[in-house]
Amino acid sequence: MVDLKGQYTKIKDAVDASVLEVLDSTAYINGPKVHEFQKNLENYLGVKHVIPCANGTDALQIAMMGLGLKPGDEVITADFTFAATVEVIALLQLTPVLVDVDPVTFNIDIDAIKKAITPKTKAIVPVHLFGMCANMEAIMEIAEAHNLFVIEDNAQGIGADYTYSDGRKAKSGTIGHVASTSFFPSKNLGCYGDGGAIFTNDDDLAHTIRGIVNHGMYIRYHHDVVGVNSRLDSVQAAILDIKLKNLDDYNKARQAAARKYSEAFKDEDNIVTPSGKEQCDGICDSCDCHVFHQYTLRVLNTDRDALVKHLNDNGIPCGVYYPIPLHRQKAYLDPRYNEADFKVTNQLVKEVISLPMHTELDDEQIAFITATVINFVNS
């Protein structure tokens, strides 16, 4: 599914030198590399504050802690996402309210958000699933009208642009009140271990969060709030700082691969290729609205699980993200949920399949993968 070795080989000299520099400096925790990477990522994103932390799940949790959400507060998020999103909501004893997604973008459905709002609702967590921004303009409008916080789960979307209806652009993760991301190795900006970060333009919130990641300390050994220990280590920061310089190229390589996949599938009635914002497939040469963390098809009139097996039998890795909607996971069952409200996720879990997607895919691989998929769906 990913080719981390091929990517590493191309930047090996720079990465190795930078890692050795950290080892030699012995500044393993909170060293200068962490600060450098933080500043460079702030500049790249055009956001005032990046607060590095240990992983993307922590980043989400810390963002919610920073906003002062309290047990019982309702947090609306997408039913079709990785479990981390809902896990931290539940862990903080907030009440997750899962809602359906849009069948074209796979992102949280705007009308479903509106329907789910109650007097207890305090926040919305849009997930920029598979690398494309949720409809942030509509979400911010709803949030403003109802006085809600918006926490962007940007673990899959780093580097993507969101384009407003007036043509303005902003990087994903810089639009809501706060955002989280993950530097897990296979993410679009991945380190060689675990890592994550929180973004915000709010100075006060950034200050609060900087204390929370460090045991609730604002002055050494004065613990004003309950915090956690969540740090990005200097070795990972050194690696990320090099990879950040390549992030736009990496995302372009993903888009180029996506374009080739979609071109090969364009006449297939049983294959729905991923598409971006309305009027835009996200894979034109001039825009970055989709950064293809995953390239995910919907297959119609096809036994999806048999297709998975067929691809695997032919030596092609593939993934099903995600096979079970969160509202049907044992840990997150809620008697208030009604199956009729989850028509889209219930359908998607049966139809989706994600093909290999990374920065090193070549034409021969893409041709083999697409031919194998097309043969199966037409057989």
Ligand X SMILES: *Cc1c(COP(=O)(O)O)cnc(C)c1O
User: Which spans of this chain sit near ligand X (rule: CB under 6 A)?
Assistant: 55-57, 81-82, 84-85, 127, 153, 155-156, 182, 184, 194, 196
Q: How far apart are CA 272 and CA 307, in angstroms?
A: 15
For 174, the token pair is 């810089």
DSSP SS3 for 250: helix
In the bound complex, what is the minimum distance in angstroms from residue 108's beta carbon to ligand X?
Answer: 12
> Which of 31/157 has CB closer to ligand X?
157
CB 64 within 8 A of CB 94: yes
> Which of 7/230 has CB closer to ligand X?
230
In the bound complex, what is the minimum distance in angstroms from residue 173's beta carbon to ligand X?
Answer: 12
Closest chain position to ligand X (CB): 56
> Which of 37/376 has CB closer to ligand X?
37
What DSSP state is assigned to residue 319?
B
> Which of 32/193 has CB closer to ligand X?
193
In the bound complex, what is the minimum distance in angstroms from residue 319's beta carbon to ligand X?
Answer: 12
CB 240 within 8 A of CB 234: no
In the bound complex, what is the minimum distance in angstroms from residue 375's beta carbon to ligand X?
Answer: 31
Q: How far apart are CA 167 and CA 368, in angstroms?
A: 38
- Segments of the chain assigned E as strands: 49-53, 74-78, 95-99, 121-125, 149-153, 161-163, 169-171, 178-182, 196-200, 217-219, 222-223, 271-272, 295-299, 352-355
In the bound complex, what is the minimum distance in angstroms from residue 88's beta carbon to ligand X?
Answer: 9
In the bound complex, what is the minimum distance in angstroms from residue 78's beta carbon to ligand X?
Answer: 9
In the bound complex, what is the minimum distance in angstroms from residue 357's beta carbon to ligand X?
Answer: 13
> Which of 82/295 has CB closer to ligand X?
82
> Which of 45/155 has CB closer to ligand X?
155
DSSP SS3 for 199: strand
Kindly give the interhelix angle for 4-25 and 32-45, rounded to the nearest 10 degrees: 130
Query: 218: which residues sit within 8 A by CB, 6+ positions away?
Result: 207, 211, 224
Report which secondary-structure segment, H or E, holds 259. Answer: helix 234-265
> Which of 82/149 has CB closer to ligand X?
82
